[in-house]
Amino acid sequence: MVDYDAAVAAVQDPNADPILLAKIAYENPEFGANVAVNPRCYPGLKRWIAEFGDERARETLAQYGFTADAFGGPVQDQEAPEQAAQQAAEQQPADAYAADQYAAAQQTAAAQPAAVQSAADQYAAQQPAAQAAFEEPVATNPYGFTAEQALTTTDQMQIAQIAQYAPELRACIARNPNTYPALIEWLGQLGDPAINAALAFRQ
């Protein structure tokens, strides 16, 4: 977990790591409003805060024209978050800064399928025997996240969402070579045998 002083410093830093901002927003909801106005807060994170943040964070975003409705409406239980995020990405953001971020996000989205496949190929090539021995958990979350996504996605926000909304897939996240260090550290603190075995696989 990000400590209080580090969170304060990060939300005030105009060059903060976007992944760190996402972690702060997820673990420390009281910083949601500060994260939302940071220039490094990308549209997908704003959309998440607009829906799941505390009241102050949602009000702050609303002042800038960002609401859950503006991003394409709230995520329904039966709708996967990544599908809602794709729908939201098709909506042109309200301000000039977000418009620049929107264009960058579109380019990233266009390249992502190849990147995901490349990551999957790399993962399979690194440890084919170990992967074959790994018994994939059954996905039971209502958001549509799958074990394959958890093992191979390169999208850091999606990795964080899977860790939050699909606890049965955390062992897969622990094996994903793209999972960021702060989340790996958090997973290691859970004391789950399956997760610990997956983390040992990374060594």
Of all residues in the chain, the percent with pLDDT exceeding 90 is 18
* Cα separation values, 136 from 118, 133, 155, 169, 170, Å: 20, 9, 20, 8, 11
Distance CA 16, CA 18 (A): 6
pLDDT in tens, 133-142: 567 888 898 8
pLDDT in tens, 167-199: 999 999 999 999 988 889 889 998 889 999 889
Distance CA 20, CA 133 (A): 33
Residue 177: partners with Cβ closer than 8 Å, 6 or more residues away: 119, 122, 123, 126, 202
Q: What is the pTM of this model?
A: 0.39
pLDDT in tens, 75-126: 433 344 444 444 544 443 344 444 555 555 555 555 544 554 555 455 455 5
Of all residues in the chain, the percent with pLDDT exceeding 70 is 67
Residue 175 is predicted with a pLDDT of: 93
